[in-house]
Every structure is written in structure tokens, then in C-alpha cells.
Chain A
Amino acid sequence: MELKSRHYAASDTAEAMELCYAKGWTDGFPVVPPTEERIGAMLAAAGLDPDQQVAFIENRQVSVTAEKIAINAVLAGCKPEYMPVIVAAVEALADPLYGYHGPATSTGGSAVFMLVNGPIARELDMNCGDNLFGPGWRANATIGRAVRLIMRNTIGTLPGVLDRSSLGHAGKYTFCIAENEAESPWPPLHVERGFKREQNAVTIMAALAPHQFSNGLSSTPEGVLTTACANMRICAGTARQPQYVLVFAGEHMAIMAKAGWTRDDVQRYCFEHTKISVAELKRINLKDGAVGPEDDTAMQSLVQTPPDFLVIAAGGRAGVQSAYIPGWGSKSGSQSVTKEIRRP
């Protein structure tokens, strides 16, 4: 294995970590020094040669090689067995449907939300339960971090330069979860999208921060979703009609299961009950122009179609909290993409 990247000498680990800061390679947190041995282990775990192109980012005219992915995965603190997940996520970033340039550069400030499905999530001890979007699990913390470091270091998506987010959010450090496939009332999302249950897949979506909502009063899907829809109705991400992830945690998930509501039922209910009048959009300055006579009855849906709600089960068993995650921009600019995770 011959690495082509330029390399630098440091006298010890502490100096190597400081050198990484000095070179501008970190997200602000300390990184693991990318040595040849560690990089080699990453490449071996994915069965890739260093100079193999994994993705070509058309807008940036950037070829992302396995070597650069491996170096960034080491920096992020990944174990070698995480590498195939990162490779699949980078393939997804380059998919024209994802449309890298828009979400990566926009003042709208999206992160790359990542959902890992399939047996690999359990094997890597990925969190799909308590403290879902919080800290505590190495795979969740470092896989998402690696993808962001690749965007920064290899695709040049530097804050204030190419990444012009006005605000950004904490998901830009890492925003990676697994689905609670064991307890979900629904087929895993990747199965919904054409993969087999035993296959591994990662879904990415350009996303704003998760919004939590609480409902401890209802024992029916309609009751829980009424709260969800009321919260979502005026929340349109940074434009109109992006995709949304709906994350149902323990008690709300159990309510859906008990009532026998399918994913399709949830999507249709939310599609109908998040519609908002053009008049209201104009009144709250989300749509241009004066309120006209027809505007009170002209309804606009939050998403283009019911499947644009990506309904998943994840989060802690206890509690009456669930969440929705608005996508960035609109569906015409960026869509969620699912890629198979391939292991050698």
C-alpha cells in the first residue's frame, strides 16, 4: 500500500495533534493523528485501494479517493470497521439527487443527517435509543464527524469560505443515528426504499436541527400526530417543501404499533394535517404578496408528497417525546439518498 498524500513529521502524539490544528484540519475538537498504520487499517476494512475514486463531486470537480476518506476517518476517531459506512455516505453525497453544492454552501446551514439501517448498525453498537441525538456512542459520534471532515478537508467546504451557513447547528459536528428496527412498528426505512432487511444501507438528508415535541395526553396516533402537525405546520426549513424526517420514540412508537398504524397511514395523516393556507403563509411573511380573496381557502402542503415524510422509529423507550427534522431548502434542490453499505 502506497499513500500518495503529503506527510509531515511530528515528534510525538501531542505535537501531531497540534499540527493538525495548525494545518486547519479539525472541526475544533482534537483529532487522532492519521498515521500510515491507522490509514491502512481503514482501507483494509473497506477493501479499497488508496487511489480508488469513491465519489466525484461534480460541482466542485473534486475526486474523493479512498485514501482521503481513510485519513479523515482516522482524524475523526473512527474504528476501521466504520469505514464502509463512511464510504457509502460519501457516495450518497455525490448523488445528483442530493445535489451537494446547494446544501453544502447555503446560508440556510444544513447538516448531513445520516440514518444507518441493517445488521451493521447493531454490530457497530450504533445508538438508536436513549439520548438519540446526544453524545455517548463512538460510532454515532465519529461516523458523522468523519463525513463532515471529508466535506471540510477534501471537498473544501470550509466554514465562512464555501460553507456560508449563517447559523449552522450542532448536527454539523455529527448527525448520525440508527433506526430501532427491533421494536419499530414499520419495516426499516431502507426496506421501504427497496433494500433487503439483511442488507446494510445509509440514508443521508440535508437537514436542519431536530425539533422535539411532547405529547403525554394522547393515547391515539391522531392525538400524537395532531401535536406533531401543529408544530410542523409553519416550520418549513429554509424554503418550502423540503423533505422531513419524523422520529417516533418509545411511547409514541408504542401508540402507533398498538393502533396498527402503518408508515403510510402516518405519512398521509401528516400530509393532510400540515397543510397551511396561502393567506397564513403571507401573513407570517413566508410567502410574498398581499392576501387575496382566494388565499384563505387555497391550501399548500408542507411537503410535495406523503412519502416526503421519512417516518422512522428511534429514541428512548421512556418519555412522551418525538421529533421532526426539517430538510434543507426544497425537494427540488436536494433530496434524501439511500446507498448500500458494502463490506469486503
Chain B
Amino acid sequence: MTIQIFDPTIEAKGRHIAYAPRPKSLAGLRIGLVDNSKHNSDQLLLRIAGLLERDYGAKAHVMRRKRSAGVPPSPEIIDEFKAGCDIVVAGVGD
């Protein structure tokens, strides 16, 4: 006798994610840095910002710290970056 068994997984649904348009140049742009609160993440991000400013002409940077690595930035941080930054650097790992 044939047994039918049912699938416990879900199939990922295709979802369109609209990326922000990439700038052609970083010259004169303001950088937002998302510090994920991991050890030395701030040091790495400041290093990156320094390179972007020195080698690519970015104008300034501001860094804000998440309350924990496992959560998104707070709405306040997102609002501040939307208002005051042209690009954002995030995604620092262990």
C-alpha cells in the first residue's frame, strides 16, 4: 500500500527587492556607518570610512550603534541616515 507523506518545508517565494540606486561616484557624499555592536566593528567601519574619504572623495561620516547584532537598526537610526547620509555601510560580521 502506498503511503503519501507531506513536505514540512516551505518553498521560498520569489520576492522583488528594490535596491537603492548606486552612486556613480562617492565624491562629496556623506557616509552612514551601522555599528552592529560586535567587538571592533566600530574600528573596522572607521577604517572603511577613512579609505572612502581619502581614496574616493567621500565628504564625511557618522556612525550609530545598534542595540544588538541580531536586530535591525532602530527607526531613529534609519531616519537619521535617511535624512543625513547618501550611502550606508553595514553588514560587519564576526
Residues of A at the B interface (CB closer than 8 Å) are 3, 5-13, 15-16, 19-20, 23, 25, 33-36, 39, 61-63, 68, 71-72, 75, 99, 101-103, 105-107, 149-150, 153-154, 156, 288, 329-330, 332-334
Contact = CB atoms under 8 A, between A and B. Distances in A.
Interface in B1-44: 1-11, 15, 39
A105 B9 contact: no
B5 A332 contact: no
Contact of A334 (B2, B8, B70): B70
Given A61-B15, A107-B94, A71 B69 contact: no
Residue of B3, B11, B39 contacting most chain A CB atoms (<10 Å): B3
Given A106-B70, A333-B71, A153 B8 contact: yes
A36 B4 contact: yes
B31 to A, nearest CB: 25
Contact of A9 (B3, B7, B68): B3
B8 A102 contact: no
A6 B6 contact: yes
Interface residues of B, number: 19
A332 B6 contact: no
Contacts of A33: 3, 5
20 contacts: A5-B8, A8-B7, A9-B2, A10-B3, A12-B1, A20-B5, A34-B5, A34-B6, A35-B3, A35-B5, A35-B6, A36-B6, A71-B8, A99-B70, A102-B69, A154-B8, A154-B9, A288-B39, A332-B68, A333-B67
